[in-house]
């Protein structure tokens, strides 16, 4: 990757969105506890499936544990999924998914494989699993984090094409380091790219020639005070692939943009 440039204040000045003390959840601490059980529940349609407000559980458990880690392995993620499912059976969970020709429906055997840690859920399932298990954004973020080291957007098995416009978000209560992996389309490797990132009232630009590895942009996120996630919008002058996640990021292809943000 060539040396990037930014239309933003120099390093050491503006540093918003703010980086608050990072926290997340140790999956090993997902054990039954009274604090977990004292939450509201709701019924899903005619199936009578009782679902716990898991996003609320996850957030409260994160604050209680004071941990900085998301599930680090498929087994740890599976343990989290089983805990979030609670007393709902896999058959009930499967039936709770809305059907239809355009709807994604995961079978109970597929869900069982995810919960046992046999496989990492496909990236295409990240948001669907988050909605299904009521993860409040944490499940989707965990799935994407597990894929980061082996993410190959040019693989023939990847069906999502590169795009110029992308949108990513994190749980409203998450505070700490976040990252955005940006990879060029295969035909645009070695070509100069111009990226514009808009996040709430903040914006920054990144300009660089992307090689095969592209770039991983590292910044920070404060908890959203109103409890509503603020989406980050990324626009590239050439189609690119993106992967959004949270936690620490290291390596030669990592670019720290925390001080590049400016008010729009």
- How confident is the model over 205-242, as pLDDT tens digits? 999 898 878 899 999 999 888 888 999 999 999 999 99
Residues 144 and 183 in one domain: no
Round to whole Å and give the CA distance between 80 and 71.
8
Backbone dihedral angles phi then psi of residue 67, each to the nearest 5 degrees = -85, 165
116, 117, 141: which is closest to 130 by C-alpha? 141
Structure tokens at 98: 């809305």
Q: Is there a contact between 81 and 130 (Cβ–Cβ < 8 Å)? A: no
The residues facing 166 across adjacent strands are: 234
Structure tokens at 137: 């954004």
Residues 139 and 194 in one domain: no
The stretch 44-54 carries a mean pLDDT of 36
> How high does pLDDT run on average in the chain?
76
210, 211, 185, 180: which is closest to 198 by C-alpha? 180
Res 70: pLDDT: 82
In a domain, 186, yes or no: yes
In a domain, 91, yes or no: yes
- List pLDDT tens digits, range 77-134: 999 999 999 999 999 999 998 866 567 889 999 999 999 999 999 998 999 999 999 8
- List pLDDT tens digits, range 171-183: 998 989 999 999 9
| 105: region left, alpha or beta (phi > 0 left; psi from -120 to 50 alpha) | beta
Count of domains for the chain: 2
Res 46: pLDDT: 30
The stretch 47-75 carries a mean pLDDT of 53
In a domain, 165, yes or no: no
Residues 47 and 133 in one domain: yes
- Please enumerate in sequence order all residues whose Cβ is within 8 A of that of 243, keeping only pairs 6 or more positions apart, or say none: 123, 144, 147, 148, 151, 153, 180, 181
Res 25: pLDDT: 28
Round to whole Å and give the CA distance between 113 and 111.
5
Domain boundary among 135, 150, 165: 150
Residues 31 and 143 in one domain: yes
Check residues 65 and 228 and name the one with the higher pLDDT: 228
Q: Is there a contact between 246 and 181 (Cβ–Cβ < 8 Å)? A: no
Residues 133 and 186 in one domain: no
Residues 116 and 43 in one domain: yes
- List pLDDT tens digits, range 74-85: 999 999 999 999
Could you list the residue range(s) of the whole structural domain that residue 94 is in? 27-150
pLDDT at 246 > cutoff 60 = yes
Res 149: pLDDT: 84
pLDDT at 23 > cutoff 70 = no
Three-class secondary structure of residue 52 per DSSP: strand
Residues 183 and 144 in one domain: no
Q: What's the burial of 110, exposed, middle or buried (CB within 10 Å: 0-12/13-18/19+)?
A: middle
Q: List Cα–Cα distances, 241 to 128, 212, 233, in angstroms.
A: 20, 12, 13
């Amino acid at each position: 990757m060539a040396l990037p440039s930014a239309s933003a204040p120099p390093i050491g000045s503006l540093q918003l969105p703010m980086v608050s003390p990072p926290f997340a959840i140790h999956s090993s601490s997902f054990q039954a506890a009274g604090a977990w059980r004292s939450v509201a529940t709701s019924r899903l349609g005619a199936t009578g499936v009782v679902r716990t407000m898991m996003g609320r559980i996850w957030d409260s458990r994160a604050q209680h544990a004071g941990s900085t880690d998301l599930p680090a392995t498929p087994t740890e993620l599976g343990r989290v999924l089983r805990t979030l499912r609670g007393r709902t059976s896999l058959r009930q969970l499967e039936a709770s998914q809305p059907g239809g020709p355009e709807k994604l429906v995961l079978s109970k055997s597929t869900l069982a494989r995810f919960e046992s840690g046999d496989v990492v859920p496909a990236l295409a399932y990240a948001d669907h699993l988050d909605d299904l298990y009521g993860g409040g954004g944490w499940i989707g973020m965990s799935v994407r984090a597990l894929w980061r080291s082996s993410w190959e957007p040019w693989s023939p098995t990847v069906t999502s094409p590169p795009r110029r416009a992308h949108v990513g978000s994190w749980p409203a209560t998450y505070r700490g380091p976040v990252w955005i992996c940006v990879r060029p389309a295969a035909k645009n490797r070695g070509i100069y790219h111009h990226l514009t990132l808009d996040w709430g009232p903040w914006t920054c630009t990144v300009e660089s020639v992307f090689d095969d590895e592209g770039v991983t942009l590292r910044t920070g996120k404060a908890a959203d005070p109103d409890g509503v996630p603020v989406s980050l919008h990324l626009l590239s002058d050439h189609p690119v692939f993106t992967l959004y996640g949270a936690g620490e990021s290291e390596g030669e292809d990592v670019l720290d943009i925390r001080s590049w943000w400016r008010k729009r």
